[in-house]
Amino acid sequence: MMTEEQRYRQARRLVKKKKAFYSHFSTYLVMGAFFFVLNMMTSPGHWWWYWPMLGWGIGVGIQYLSVFGLPGSGAGSSDWEAREIEKEMNKMQPESTPERLNLDDHLELKEVKKERAAEPSYRKDDLV
């Protein structure tokens, strides 16, 4: 189960991905209009503006699929990913049956002295 901090970090990461997609898509639309106007002004008889937009559009489409998943199927979306992770984690858990568990067994642990490490100048959730 995820802690509140982990859920916040994951949600923040997803929001950053969505924000980056919307920014990229907006730039794509503005540059598409720019290329069209440039094409009309420089060589109206020869249409070339759609070639850079086609290549760039493939990149925008790939980014869309990585952020939102396949439309309608849910595959690749964050909900789908969370469900699949949960399934895989459940497969990895050893089955605990009452025969194998003996609550009377005790494990003695020595206390470990924890040394404080130097704090990094960055936050781990800023890393990609």
Share of the chain above pLDDT 70, in %: 74
The reported pLDDT for the residue numbered 55 is 96
Instruction: Give the burial class of 33: count Cβ atoms within 10 A of its Cβ; 0-12 exposed, 13-18 middle, 19 or more buried.
Output: exposed
When mean pLDDT is compared over 20-34, 72-86, 101-115, the highest value belongs to 20-34
For 47-80, the pLDDT digits (tens) are 999 999 999 999 999 999 988 877 776 666 667 7
Whole-angstrom distance, CA of residue 31 vs CA of residue 37: 10
Quote the tokens at residue 9. Answer: 């970090």
Positive or negative torsion for Cα 36, 55, 13, 86 = positive
Confidence check: pLDDT of 8 > 70: yes
What pLDDT, on a 0 to 100 scale, did the predictor assign at position 105?
Answer: 65
Residue 100 has pLDDT above 60, yes or no: no
The pair of structure tokens assigned to 103 is 């609550």
Task: Report pLDDT for 33.
Answer: 97
Q: Residue ranges per domain, the chain?
A: 1-88
Cα separation, 72 vs 19, in Å, equals 21
Lowest-confidence pick of 20-24, 56-60, 73-77, 90-94: 73-77
Angle, CA of 67, 1 and 4, to the nearest 5°: 70
Mean pLDDT of the chain: 81
Q: Name the residue type at position 120.
A: P
Whole-prediction pTM: 0.57
Distance in Å from the first CA to the final CA of the chain: 23
Closest CA to 68 of 58, 84, 79, 83: 79
pLDDT of residue 94: 64
pLDDT surpasses 70 at 25: yes
Amino acid identity of residue 69, one-letter, is G
Contact indicator for 60, 95 with CB cutoff of 8 Å: no
